[in-house]
Each structure stands twice: as C-alpha cells, then as structure tokens.
Amino acid sequence: MPGVYISYPFCAQKCTYCNFASGVFPRALEARYLAALDAELRQTAWPWAPETAYLGGGTPSRIEPDALASMLTRIPGRPWQEATIEAAPGTITAEKAVTWRRAGINRVSLGVQSFALRELARTGRKHTAEIVARETVVLREQGIDGINIDLIAGLPGQTRNSWHESLDWVERLRTPHASVYMLEVDAGSHLGNELLAAGKRYGAADVPADDEIAEFYEIAVERLARAGLDRYEISNFARPGFESRHNLKYWRREPYLGFGADAHSFDGGSRWQNVESASEYVERMARRESPIAARTAADPVGERFFLGLRLSEGIELDWTPFSEAIERHVRNGLLEAEDGHLRLTSRGVLLSNEVFAEFVP
C-alpha cells in the first residue's frame, strides 16, 4: 500500500550543510502553512488507506502537539504500520512524545549529525550529546522505541577521533537504526556553495578530504555492523525488523503521496512535485489552486536501477538496455552479479553516483 509524506520546512536556524527547501520563516507563515496543509489533506480523495506516514522537513517536531495530532487525523489507516517524525534534538518533551504516540507516531528520526561539540557549533546545531541521550530516554519511556540517529561524515573539523566519538554514542544509546550521510557539496547549502567557490567561510577550509570522508564512512559500516546495525541501503543501517518501511518505498518504486511545499509524489506511472516555496504553497492553497508545480512520466527501467541499486539486496538481473554499462562496471569492480542479482560492491558504494549516472535519462 502507498505511503504518505508531509513536508514541514520550518526550522529554528538554517544549518550550514543543509540543502533542503527549509529555513527560518515568520511565525505567522507557519500558522498559515498548517492551515494550508490541513486543506490539502482534506481535499484528497483516499481510495486506499496508507500503511506508512512520514513527517519531514525542516523540523516537524516544532509543531505544537495538539496541532500535529489534529493534522494526522486527516490521514486514514491509523494505526499505520510505521509513522515517523523527524526531530531536532532539544525539541522533544514528554508531553510531545505522549501526544505523538497517541496520534500514531511510532518512530522518531533524530537529526543529530554529530556528537562532537566543536563540529556542532560550526554547523549551527545547538544540542549536546547529553541532550540526545536524555531525549532517547524520554521517547522510550513513552513507548516509542523506533529511534533513528542521523550522522554526517565530512563536517568541518571532523577527525578520525571525533568520528569515533560520535559512533561511540550511537553504540551507547543502542538505537535500532542509524543513517550515515557523506557530506553533499552543491550550491544548495551555505557550506556547499562556499566549497565550490574555494572559500573559507562556514568552516569550508576544514572540511576533510574526499578520501578521509570515504574512510569515515567505511569505519561507520564496520562499527555499526559490530553493534548489530547492518547496512540495508547506502546510507541506512538497522537491526533486523527496524528498517524504515516508508523510505524503502522510495527505493523499491512503491507509490506515495506528498503534501506540503516541495513534497514529491509517485503513483507508479508518473511523478509530481509541489511548489518549492512555503509562501507560494500557502498562497496557492489560499486561492484554491493546485500546489503541483511539475509532473513527469516515470522511467521504470532507469529508476529500477539507480534506485534499486541503493539497496544492499540489489536488484534482480534480467534483460536490460544497460548491459554494456553493467559489464563495464563489473569489470572495474563497482558492480557484482551473483545469484541472479546485481548489486554495488563496497567500492561501488563509495562511487555510486558514477554508477547511477549510467541509468539516469
């Protein structure tokens, strides 16, 4: 069955590495945005009940508990198999956790990124390791055991020792899921833009070299596996049974509906995207216009490869127009074919964008 994604792009501050369509906006816009979200959800015809829900952003944990609970009543199918909310450490209280659980939330994804104070300060994050530890206790006390911790390999000033410190905390907290992302360098973030310009602001001069970032990632793969969290997707690690059911829909090309600014949807045959700007989304909904900005036909063959190959299980290998590219990457050690499946090798994971470029139309 399909999943539902709700975008809440509001944050207390814009982190230097963030390249999402999120940021700091006027409080008045937040109230109007919630009303617009409610309207979009109410106007939706639900021919099916979704099995997963995901609230991302931004920082949806900023939403007042009662307002969030009210919004979730618009989505049929509760209790969902999985319902996730992204949360910034320092925004979780017992009151919120109780309301979340009663509203159907059973999974919280914590945007920790690092447990090292110096790294956090340079990226704009305001939490500490102790805050994260306290809030994981709060969540568990209120019956929410599905907890994910996000980490970023490649933050300014990050060292092998500080990376091990962050991984030590993941082991100590014994969360059943962790996500490890290698720093993305593009013009969509302050830090990425500065790196592209060869500047020094936002700690750009202290970003680890590419080979160091790759080493940090491989260290995480090894240490998380020893802690019982196996890699099931390039950036995601879990104990058996704690994989993100909602995110698996993206990689397996299962349908989902997105609501809110910059939210994406997929019905199996086509993809569409809402307008990126939160203010434009609000204005369109106020005028009772469609928030959809673009719609395109899906590419089932290419998508099957560049999405499915993200998974450790790989994809079934059958006839494909990409035979030449596959053979080349098997020869150069980036892909492996075994038992009728095609998957990335360990080296291929580190160079996955090079592989995926073969399958993007």
pLDDT digits (tens, 9 = 90+) for 60-95: 999 999 999 999 999 999 999 999 999 999 999 999
One domain, residues 96 and 214: yes
pTM of the model: 0.94
At residue 26, does pLDDT exceed 90?
Answer: no
288 within domain boundaries: no
322 within domain boundaries: yes
User: Phi/psi at 184 (nearest 5 deg)?
Assistant: -90, 130
DSSP letters spanning 117-135: HHHHHHHT----HHHHHHH
One domain, residues 228 and 325: no
One domain, residues 321 and 196: no
Identify the domain containing residue 334 by its residue range: 300-356
Tokens representing 78 are 């509760």
Q: Quick one: CA dihedral 113, 118, 119, 120, positive or negative?
A: positive
Arithmetic mean of pLDDT, 111-125: 91
270 within domain boundaries: no
d(CA 51, CA 308): 21
Arithmetic mean of pLDDT, 111-132: 92
Could you tell me what percentage of the chain is helix, strand and coil, using 3-state DSSP and rounding each to the nearest 5? Answer: 40, 20, 40
What pLDDT is attached to residue 22? Answer: 67
276 within domain boundaries: no
Tokens representing 89 are 């450490």
280 within domain boundaries: no
CATH code, domain carrying 136: 3.30.750.200
Confidence band, pLDDT 50/70/90 cuts, at residue 21: low
d(CA 149, CA 231): 14
Arithmetic mean of pLDDT, 251-272: 97
DSSP letters spanning 191-246: HHHHHHTT--GGGGGGPPPHHHHHHHHHHHHHHHHHTT-EEEETTEEE-TT-S-HH
Arithmetic mean of pLDDT, 151-159: 96
Domains in the chain: how many in total? 2
Closest residue by Cα to residue 283 from 59, 16, 29, 69? 29
